[in-house]
């Protein structure tokens, strides 16, 4: 018998629709029932790819005895954190305040009004891991609700007050100072793992926003140490087990410090951001290996995460057939059985570090253990032959792997994550001139604007033809940035108009008079507090994305109503970002754009004209992070203000390079445009 989750679009909620727990989705009905029955709420928050969410579900939520206890004493609510980041962020703050740490599954106990008074993450069915049993917690809280409610209510008042105080930004003090970048770079240098790559200890997460900051620093200062960190980190991740050596794409993080053992979830947002990081690294260094990793990652996304209508799915689970990582690991015998040529099999085994004893629970996580040069010496072959044979072996293993039971797929489409994907596809299309990426980006943008805009309002989540939930700040901002990236790839003014629309929506509906931006619209559902996320986690915070979008629209339009709220937020956050760069790298990247030098390039003419393409290619192939580009026929409707009064010289596409809307002489020559750009980007002596 299904519970009240059966009508959900979230795959995570649908996973629990047949539980004996009488689950409700978050909404007025659940809160009203809790008030009517005078029961506390048990709120469980997770997501479809979450391994420990599955564990707790199997151990507790599928257990009839535990379900009976929950049904008797609580109104139980399930939330997909990816669909409702507002609820997740509020109650995560409460859990961290109570326990000192957070995570998923998140388990929170609330009053019928939604005020938290107790919480944690995963709870086992019996006492272990120095943790109480879930059933014990249920009985204790039920008893306290009946016999010591005042104590619980006092805790809920204190926690709610704390949560309500979260959104305030630090006071604005001082100008936007380029010297803050020196401080941030020093922190990153001192915390960098020069042996194994990356920042921090196990578990070790990719840091695409940090990598972008260091690439920006190299572009600004020619700081070789910053570039060395980037190339070392990108190479280490690409060689590790965190990277799928057969199918491309990255897992969410490594549980060890050497990138070998991944937590096998594959998230759309990680792969979008990392594909972009490898593209940027290739633009700066010209290293073809970095382009290869970017292309393999994008190929994985296009092949396995793309809906036929053009949107991209959220994630792949860590588990297959109830075992984490089973889909991805190999024994030596399996490799030899799949690859018919024993010499190729030997080569693959050596290249990807497979052993009889294995490196993960008796099996092997494939990782690049030997370079082409070392293998060429070992097998008496040249490097090109090595790579050709390895490609044959990988293809055979990938085809065999496709016959296995795949991990679960969360096939909902989230606007913010698809906005990040749109950025990656559009920038990859510009940099590599790959028409497949451009076509995919155009289809994605059209899908988002048609399927996730309902009655003029942007929504958060879509699955199988149904869109739900009012969009959050990160949705508007990521979509806007994706559309700007696509506009700079094909110069269709529709994309620019819609990007500007997202910026207008942010200014009008999300602005906090105290500085920065709320995560929710001014007319959003009333929660116990209005959340405001400022820290960059695996994804940029909504504030980071909003500030970046407003600065870029400001660079196109020259209007203070976009620039001033963005710079005000940056003044509040700049010092904090410099002190903690790994947690606020997105802010540093926005700060770099705000400080400049900002360049605006307007190209008058038909984007289909070969001369136009030649001029625009000067901006496409290099990493010039503080450049915005506009283009199109003079007078074309919907173009940014940057295109106003731009005309062709002698009927030929003409480039206007500007800084702060002060422009150099127009030119029709690529060499002259290159000279102007080099001069503008060269810091004064």
- Over residues 347-374, the pLDDT tens digits come to 999 999 999 999 999 999 999 999 999 9
Q: Would the pLDDT of 685 be above 90?
A: no
Backbone torsions φ then ψ of 546, nearest 5 degrees: -65, -45
Cα separation, 488 vs 421, in Å, equals 15
Mean pLDDT of all residues in 448-477:
97
Cα separation, 181 vs 171, in Å, equals 20
Tokens 């909620």 identify what position?
13
Contact in structure between 266 and 315 (CB atoms under 8 Å): yes
Burial of 351 (0-12, 13-18, 19+ CB in 10 A): buried
What single-letter DSSP state applies at residue 19? S
pLDDT reported for residue 547: 98
Closest CA to 400 of 349, 328, 341: 328
User: Which structure tokens are listed for 457?
Assistant: 């309002």
Tens-place pLDDT, residues 402-414: 999 999 999 999 9
Q: Would the pLDDT of 520 be above 90?
A: yes
Cα separation, 564 vs 550, in Å, equals 9
Cα separation, 681 vs 77, in Å, equals 54
Residues in the chain: 685
Mean pLDDT, the chain, whole residue set: 95
Contact in structure between 674 and 620 (CB atoms under 8 Å): no
Residue 179: CB atoms within 10 A of its CB come to 7
Split at pLDDT 50, 70, 90, the class of 1 is: low
Cα separation, 552 vs 596, in Å, equals 12
Cα separation, 106 vs 78, in Å, equals 10
Mean pLDDT of all residues in 283-310:
98
Give the bridge partners for 306, in sequence order. Answer: 312
Q: Please provide the CATH number assigned to the domain covering 599-681.
A: 3.40.30
Q: What is the DSSP string of 514-531?
A: TSSB-SS-TTSPP-SS--
What single-letter DSSP state applies at residue 104? S
Residue 489: CB atoms within 10 A of its CB come to 24
Cα separation, 321 vs 324, in Å, equals 8
Cα separation, 60 vs 70, in Å, equals 10
- CA 454-456-457 angle, to 5 degrees, is 70
Tokens 């690859």 identify what position?
339
Strands (E), 253-318: 253-254, 262-263, 266-267, 315-316
pLDDT reported for residue 525: 93
Cα separation, 658 vs 87, in Å, equals 44
Mean pLDDT of all residues in 430-454:
97
The residues near 388 (Cβ < 8 Å, ≥ 6 apart) are none
Assigned CATH topology for domain 221-320+410-523+532-595:
Glycosyltransferase (1.50.10)
Split at pLDDT 50, 70, 90, the class of 171 is: low
11-164 and 599-681 have identical folds = yes
107 SS3 class: strand
Q: Would the pLDDT of 279 be above 70?
A: yes
Assigned CATH topology for domain 11-164:
Glutaredoxin (3.40.30)
Cα separation, 484 vs 443, in Å, equals 15
In the chain, where are the structural domains located?
11-164, 221-320+410-523+532-595, 328-403, 599-681
pLDDT reported for residue 123: 94
Closest CA to 510 of 487, 480, 465: 480
Burial of 131 (0-12, 13-18, 19+ CB in 10 A): middle
Cα separation, 517 vs 149, in Å, equals 36
pLDDT reported for residue 260: 98
pLDDT reported for residue 129: 75
Q: What is the DSSP string of 558-581?
A: --HHHHHHHHHHHHHHHHHHHHST
Q: Would the pLDDT of 204 be above 70?
A: yes
pLDDT reported for residue 265: 94
What single-letter DSSP state applies at residue 62? T
Which helix or strand (DSSP H or E) is residue 419 part of? helix 415-432
- CA 95-99-105 angle, to 5 degrees, is 50
> Starting at the edge strand that comes first in sequence, how are the strands of the sheet with 116-120 ordered?
23-25, 75-80, 41-46, 106-110, 116-120
Cα separation, 269 vs 363, in Å, equals 28
- pTM score, whole prediction: 0.96
Mean pLDDT of all residues in 314-323:
92
Contact in structure between 467 and 411 (CB atoms under 8 Å): no
pLDDT reported for residue 322: 87
For 370-382, the three-class secondary structure string (H helix, E strand, C coil) is CCHHHHHHHHCCC
Tens-place pLDDT, residues 9-50: 999 999 999 999 999 999 999 999 999 999 999 999 999 998
Tens-place pLDDT, residues 429-438: 999 999 999 9
Which is it for strands 457-463 and 413-414: parallel, antiparallel or unpaired? Answer: antiparallel
């Amino acid at each position: 018998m299904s519970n009240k989750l059966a009508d959900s679009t979230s795959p995570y909620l649908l996973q629990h629709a047949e539980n004996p727990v009488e689950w409700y989705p978050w909404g007025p009905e659940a809160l009203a029932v809790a008030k009517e029955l005078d029961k506390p709420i048990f709120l469980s928050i997770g997501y479809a790819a979450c391994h420990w969410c599955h564990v707790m579900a199997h151990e507790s939520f599928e257990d009839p005895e535990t379900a009976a206890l929950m049904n008797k004493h609580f109104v139980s609510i399930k939330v997909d954190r990816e669909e409702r980041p507002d609820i997740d962020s509020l109650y995560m703050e409460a859990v961290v305040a109570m326990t000192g740490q957070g995570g998923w599954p998140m388990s929170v106990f609330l009053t019928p009004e939604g005020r938290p008074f107790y919480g944690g993450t995963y709870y086992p069915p019996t006492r272990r891991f120095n943790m109480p049993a879930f059933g014990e917690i249920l009985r204790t809280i039920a008893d306290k609700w009946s016999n010591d409610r005042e104590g619980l209510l006092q805790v809920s008042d204190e926690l709610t007050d704390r949560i309500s105080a979260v959104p305030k930004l630090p006071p604005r003090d001082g100008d936007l100072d380029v010297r803050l970048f020196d401080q941030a770079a020093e922190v990153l240098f001192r915390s960098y793992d020069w042996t194994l790559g990356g920042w921090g200890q196990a578990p070790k997460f990719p840091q695409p926003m940090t990598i972008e900051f260091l690439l920006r620093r190299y572009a600004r200062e020619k700081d070789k140490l910053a570039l060395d960190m980037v190339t070392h980190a990108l190479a280490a991740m690409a060689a590790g087990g965190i990277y799928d050596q057969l199918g491309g794409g990255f897992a969410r993080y490594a549980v060890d410090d050497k990138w070998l053992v991944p937590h096998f979830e594959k998230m759309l947002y990680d792969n979008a951001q990392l594909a972009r990081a490898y593209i940027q690294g290739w633009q700066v260094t010209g290293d073809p290996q970095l382009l290869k990793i970017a292309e393999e990652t994008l190929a994985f996304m296009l092949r396995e995460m793309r809906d036929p209508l053009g949107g991209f799915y959220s994630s792949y689970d860590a588990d297959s057939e109830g075992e984490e990582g089973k889909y991805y690991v190999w024994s030596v015998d399996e490799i030899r059985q799949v690859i018919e040529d024993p010499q190729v099999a030997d080569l693959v085994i050596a290249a990807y570090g497979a052993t009889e004893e294995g490196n993960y629970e008796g099996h092997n996580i494939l990782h690049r253990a030997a370079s082409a040069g070392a293998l060429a010496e070992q097998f008496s072959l040249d490097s090109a032959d090595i790579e050709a044979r390895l490609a044959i072996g990988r293809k055979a293993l990938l085809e065999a792997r496709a016959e296995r039971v795949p991990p679960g797929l969360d096939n909902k489409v989230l606007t913010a994550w698809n906005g990040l994907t749109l950025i990656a596809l559009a920038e990859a299309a510009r940099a590599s001139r790959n028409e497949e990426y451009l076509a995919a980006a155009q289809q994605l943008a059209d899908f988002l604007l048609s399927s996730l805009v309902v009655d003029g309002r942007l929504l958060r989540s879509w699955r199988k033809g149904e869109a739900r939930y009012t969009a959050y700040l990160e949705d508007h901002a990521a979509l806007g940035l994706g559309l700007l990236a696509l506009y700079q790839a094909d110069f269709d003014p529709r994309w620019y108009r819609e990007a500007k629309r997202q910026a207008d929506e942010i200014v009008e509906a999300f602005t906090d008079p105290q500085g920065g931006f709320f995560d929710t619209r001014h007319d959003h559902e009333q929660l116990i507090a209005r959340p405001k996320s400022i820290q960059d986690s695996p994804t940029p915070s909504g504030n980071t994305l909003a500030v970046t979008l407003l600065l870029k629209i400001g660079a196109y339009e020259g209007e203070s109503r976009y620039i001033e709220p963005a710079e005000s937020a940056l003044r509040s956050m700049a010092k904090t970002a410099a002190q903690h760069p790994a947690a606020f790298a997105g802010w540093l990247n926005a700060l770099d754009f705000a400080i400049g030098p900002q360049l605006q390039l307007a190209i008058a003419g038909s984007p289909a004209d070969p001369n136009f393409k030649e001029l625009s290619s000067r901006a496409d192939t290099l990493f010039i992070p503080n450049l915005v580009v506009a283009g199109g026929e003079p007078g074309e409707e919907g173009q940014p203000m940057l295109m106003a009064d731009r005309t062709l010289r002698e009927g030929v596409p003409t480039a206007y390079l500007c800084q702060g809307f002060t422009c150099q002489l127009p030119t029709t020559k690529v060499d002259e445009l290159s000279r102007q750009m080099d001069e503008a980007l060269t810091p004064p002596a």
